[in-house]
Amino acid sequence: MKSNPTNGYRIHLDALFRFKPNKSLIAVAISYLAVIGFLSMATYVATPAHGMYYFLLYAVACAGIAGIATPFLWTLFVERKSLATLGITRKRIWWSLLLQAIFVLFIQGELMRTLQGKPWERIVPLVALSLAIGFFEAVFWRGWLFQKLESAFGIVPGMLFGSALYAMFHIGYGMTGSEMVFLFFIGLMFCAAFMLTRNIFILWPVFQPMGQLITVAKEGLELPLIATLGFVEILTLFLVFALILTRKHKKMVKTTA
């Protein structure tokens, strides 16, 4: 039987472009509207000046419930898959961490310039925020939203549409149109980096949080030192929740085996 010389091309093209929408897109749309809604409420209604209300809307509702719990629970209980499909996995972790360390070299200078002259008590809560929100962004934007769009429409539409949604999300921070254009390309960069290993540890805990820290510091966000505790606690909850659900999935697999 003769081989078809176009088979490889067709497979490659199907990876780049496809049209296979599924019910997961509904969950993605709802979670996206939720994160941008909660962030906008935190920024414009509560405002950072009202620390506790801002924290509850931003860290708990936006990042925690809409950004972390929704993808986790959908993946485990609806799709019956492990959190590894979101990029939370040990596979290729050392390559991911090595590449992350290399990426960091390119932005550490910008971070030093941005933080120069700022008192430590202003920097510490922003670092805690960046670690917690950085985990949310790595999971939600790359592990969840990008991969669901890629599964439905292919790599190219997934990257473009996912990065556009990522940029528009920053309306909730009060960013301008030119800033969001820049963030669109940042989104493309993060997607490309994530695709190298399909592991969030190519982005977190340093590379993406460092970018987040640069952004919030340049925007002049100021939080009380006590806010550090809140963001450390919410990050701990994210990680513990991931661990619990990972063990839950293993038990589910054993039960059905």
Weakest-pLDDT range from 49-53, 97-101, 116-120: 49-53
pTM recorded for the entire structure: 0.92
**pLDDT for 71 beyond 80:** yes
Give the alpha-carbon dihedral of 88, 61, 38, 249, to 10 degrees: 30
pLDDT tens by residue, 166-183 = 999 999 888 889 999 999
User: So what's the pLDDT on residue 46?
Assistant: 94
Question: String of b and e for 120-139 (b: at least 16 CB within 10 Å)?
Answer: eeeeebbbbbbbbbbbbbbb
Dist CA 2 CA 187 (whole Å): 43
Within 13 Å, how many C-alpha atoms sit on residue 140's CB side? 29
Banded model confidence at residue 48, pLDDT cuts 50, 70, 90: confident
HSE of 231 in the Cβ direction (CA atoms, 13 Å)? 23
Q: Which has the minimum average pLDDT: 65-69, 157-161, 239-243, 248-252? A: 248-252
For residues 137-149, give the mean pLDDT: 98
- Mean predicted confidence (pLDDT) in 51-71: 96
pLDDT at 124: 97
pLDDT at 3 over 50: no
Give the mean pLDDT of 75-87: 96
Instruction: Kindly indicate the confidence band of residue 12, based on its pLDDT and cuts at 50, 70 and 90.
Output: confident
pLDDT at 255: 81
Please report the DSSP string for 72-141 in residue order. HHIIIIIS---GGGGT-SSTTHHHHHHHHHHHHHTTHHHHHHHHTT--HHHHHHHHHHHHHHHHHHIIII
Distance, CA of 244 to CA of 257 (rounded, Å): 20
Q: Over 90: is that where the pLDDT of 151 sits? A: yes
Tens of pLDDT, residue by residue over 205-240, are 999 999 999 989 988 888 999 999 999 999 999 999
Q: Which pair of tokens denotes residue 228? A: 């550090």
Residue 76 has pLDDT above 80, yes or no: yes
Give the range among 28-32, 86-90, 189-193, 248-252 with minimum mean pLDDT.
248-252
pLDDT at 257: 63
CA–CA dist 200, 97 (Å, integer) = 9
Do 87 and 139 meet the contact criterion of CB atoms below 8 Å apart? yes
Cα separation, 79 vs 23, whole angstroms? 10
User: What local confidence, expressed as pLDDT, does residue 173 receive?
Assistant: 86
- Give residue 8's pLDDT: 39
For residue 184, give the amino acid letter. Answer: F
Average per-residue pLDDT for the chain: 93
Plot region of 18 (φ>0 → left; ψ -120 to 50 → alpha; else → beta) = beta
